[in-house]
A and B are shown apart, each in its own frame.
Chain A
Amino acid sequence: MPERTRKPKTPTTRAKTETKDQASPAVSGEKLIAELDDLLDEIDDVLESNAEDFVKSYVQKGGE
């Protein structure tokens, strides 16, 4: 089983909507901006610590 242990810490964590039938209106820009600081804290926490190594070592072969 996959671990689904992401921290449920901010309101920006992926909110689950089961209402498939409802096209949600675009959420307000203000709300998103207000949430951004919390989100960026979390992103800073989980980002790979050595960006340069990570980016340089991410090499794929072409596919398809």
Chain B
Amino acid sequence: MVARLKKPRQVNTSEDKLSIPKICGIETEYGIIAKGMDSSAVTASSLLINSYVGRFDKSIGWDFEDEQPGSDARGFSLDDSFPAEIEMHLVNTVLTNGARYYVDHAHPEVSTPECRYVDEALIYDRAGEEIIRQSMVAAKGFLPEGAELIAYKNNSDGKGNSYGCHENYLLARDLSFSKMAALITTHFVTRQIFCGAGKVGTEFEGMAHNSIAYQLSQRADFFEEEVGLETTLKRPIVNTRDEPHCDPLKYRRLHVIVGDANMSEVATFLKLGTTAILLAMIEDNQFSESLLLTNPVPAIRAISHDPTLRQKIHLQDGRQLTALEIQYELCERAEVYAKNYGLEAVGQQTGEQVLRRWRNVLDGLKQDPITVAHIVDWVAKKRIIDGLTQRHNLSDRDIKLKAIDLQYHDMRPEKCLALRVGLETLVSQTSALKAAVSPPETTRAYFRGMCLTKWPQDVVAANWDSVVFDIGSGPLRRIPMMEPLRGTKAMTQELFGRCTTSAELVAALGDDVSTSSFAPTN
């Protein structure tokens, strides 16, 4: 149960501790090209995913019943905002590891299952990469000789088109959204110094592409608002989509669209970990307002456009600080918070690792960014760009540099540059491959994944907060999963051991099961 956390052990006696477990996940839209064949991006994405799910007996459809992407956290709703997939019948599946694998607009997207800890979410993000790689290999079997589908884990094509890598964090419903948004913006604007994926040139409207040689972030050029509902136009630094995919009276899901997709595992770990800790601090009212920014939209771009990290930005308290200085303050406050409140919202042990690595990466950036080339994507990429520029006497506007930028994110192991630059890894290949098929054990994703593993023929559809069964007689049965921390392995292992059919499962769950109006569309 997600009751309010008990007071942590070594902690002060604060009665106002409100932070809830920071359940999290990542949605990654991959770039895709069809080489040696004529194909639209939508067709290529569908083919990629179908090649993967076609290897299994039956793919499970997504249930759209509870989708409300037009719902705004500020309390209103867009009319007629149904997910496009409903009308277009695009490929949309749920995997046995609890993830969603589907075509979003014109991209293949993997949404990791919900994870209790950020290091688990990292493993499932890596699993997503392996799923994409396996899909590319499987697709070759359906394509003409010499043709292939190639996916890229990046966020822009260098021509003004961007696609996202979104993070999600569980928040308490009674937290003031506007206050949270203002506070976390400071982190979203400055964290790119260690989780930016690096980009050659700029795509900011009105600037010539080559007016900037290199910048920290793939995405910073595309943000035009501080807070808002959009994700494809006038993108906001804080997205207000209010679609918790769980009990809406108790929870929010913060849908973060501002980040880059990382090739560096440590960068992904830090991106999730630092954000989750700061969100817990905001819930516990331990995030000082003295770090509010005056003008975040130009600031996110200005920081990205300066790889020397000397750019200063204005704070509301009158100070002008660099992103690095602001990150040091955030890190120090998080360290104090950890001492006083504990880190149970993110897991004590995981949280301590996050804090250690956070300080280390800041120290490295301060000393000389090259010292963190094994951790920070923009540094790793810049290192080979600078190296090849010097070796081949290239201009800093040479198109070869843009090719390096793109190929850094190539998902083919034989072509991927990120796999060659000496990035430190945290996830073994064995763990990533296991996570591609098995669900995490610490959230309801375990229940979803186990249902799909044990009874794929009986699951008609599934989504984040329910599984729909056809047990062979009577109406379809919907099992709601409105509590993200229910349905864990600890809570359901015995149930899955005992039930040999889905009908037995439905009978065992009794009153928790409702009949469903879900009508499969394919």
Interface of A with B (CB < 8 Å)? 1-6, 11-18, 20-21, 23-29, 32-33, 35-36, 39-40, 42-44, 46-48, 51-52, 54-55, 57-64
- Docked-complex contact A43 and B417, CB < 8 angstroms: yes
Q: Name 7 extra pairs, CB < 8 A, besides A3-B137, A24-B424, A64-B257.
A: A2-B133, A2-B137, A47-B400, A55-B402, A58-B31, A61-B41, A62-B163
B162 contacts the other chain (CB 8 A): yes
Q: How far is the CA of A28 from the CA of B372 in the complex (A)?
A: 9
Give which listed residue, B364, B388, B422, contacts A15 with CB less than 8 A: B422
Interface of B with A (CB < 8 Å)? 29, 31-33, 41, 104-107, 109, 119, 130, 133-134, 136-137, 152, 156-159, 161-164, 166, 231-232, 235, 257, 349, 353, 356-357, 360, 363-364, 367-368, 370-374, 383-384, 387-388, 391, 399-400, 402-404, 406-407, 413-417, 419-426, 428-429
Residues of B within 8 A of A1 (CB): 134, 137
Q: How far is the CA of A39 from the CA of B374 in the complex (A)?
A: 13
Min distance, Cβ B35 to any Cβ of chain A, angstroms: 9
- Docked-complex contact A62 and B232, CB < 8 angstroms: yes
Q: Which residue of B lies closest to A56 (CB)?
A: B399
**Given A44-B388, A47-B404, A61-B105, also A35-B422 (CB < 8 A):** yes
- Docked-complex contact B383 and A51, CB < 8 angstroms: no
- Docked-complex contact A2 and B413, CB < 8 angstroms: yes
- Docked-complex contact A63 and B106, CB < 8 angstroms: yes
- Docked-complex contact B388 and A43, CB < 8 angstroms: yes
Give which listed residue, B29, B403, B425, contacts A48 with CB less than 8 A: B403
- Docked-complex contact A64 and B166, CB < 8 angstroms: yes
Most buried by B among A14, A17, A26, A29: A26
Min distance, Cβ A47 to any Cβ of chain B, angstroms: 7
- Listed by A's residue number, 11 A-B pairs whose Cβ atoms lie within 8 Å are A6-B420, A14-B420, A14-B423, A16-B425, A23-B356, A23-B357, A24-B424, A52-B399, A60-B163, A64-B104, A64-B235
- Docked-complex contact A4 and B105, CB < 8 angstroms: no
Min distance, Cβ A63 to any Cβ of chain B, angstroms: 3
Min distance, Cβ B192 to any Cβ of chain A, angstroms: 18
**Given A3-B414, A32-B373, also A57-B33 (CB < 8 A):** yes
Give which listed residue, A15, A27, A54, A63, contacts B163 with CB less than 8 A: A63
Min distance, Cβ B493 to any Cβ of chain A, angstroms: 25
Q: How far is the CA of A36 from the CA of B402 in the complex (A)?
A: 19
- Docked-complex contact A47 and B407, CB < 8 angstroms: yes
Min distance, Cβ B236 to any Cβ of chain A, angstroms: 12
Residues of B within 8 A of A44 (CB): 388
- Docked-complex contact A26 and B363, CB < 8 angstroms: yes
Q: How far is the CA of A1 from the CA of B232 in the complex (A)?
A: 34
- Docked-complex contact B163 and A51, CB < 8 angstroms: no
Residues of B within 8 A of A4 (CB): 413, 429
- Docked-complex contact B133 and A55, CB < 8 angstroms: no
Most buried by B among A6, A18, A24, A61: A61
Min distance, Cβ A14 to any Cβ of chain B, angstroms: 5
Give which listed residue, A11, A23, A39, A51, contacts B384 with CB less than 8 A: A39
Q: Which residue of A lies closest to B155 (CB)?
A: A63
Min distance, Cβ A56 to any Cβ of chain B, angstroms: 8
Residues of A within 8 A of B415 (CB): 46, 48
- Ranked nearest first, the 9 interchain pairs of A and B with the lowest CB-CB distance are A63-B163, A2-B133, A26-B364, A23-B356, A51-B403, A61-B106, A26-B371, A64-B231, A60-B157
Q: Which residue of A lies closest to B133 (CB)?
A: A2
Min distance, Cβ B83 to any Cβ of chain A, angstroms: 12
Min distance, Cβ A44 to any Cβ of chain B, angstroms: 7
Most buried by B among A1, A46, A63: A63
- Docked-complex contact B403 and A12, CB < 8 angstroms: no
Min distance, Cβ B239 to any Cβ of chain A, angstroms: 9
Q: Which residue of A lies closest to B135 (CB)?
A: A2
Residues of A within 8 A of B406 (CB): 54-55, 58
**Given A2-B137, A12-B422, A60-B161, also A40-B370 (CB < 8 A):** no
Residues of B within 8 A of A61 (CB): 41, 105-107, 161, 163
Q: How far is the CA of A29 from the CA of B367 in the complex (A)?
A: 10
Residues of A within 8 A of B384 (CB): 39-40, 43
- Docked-complex contact A46 and B420, CB < 8 angstroms: yes
Min distance, Cβ A15 to any Cβ of chain B, angstroms: 7
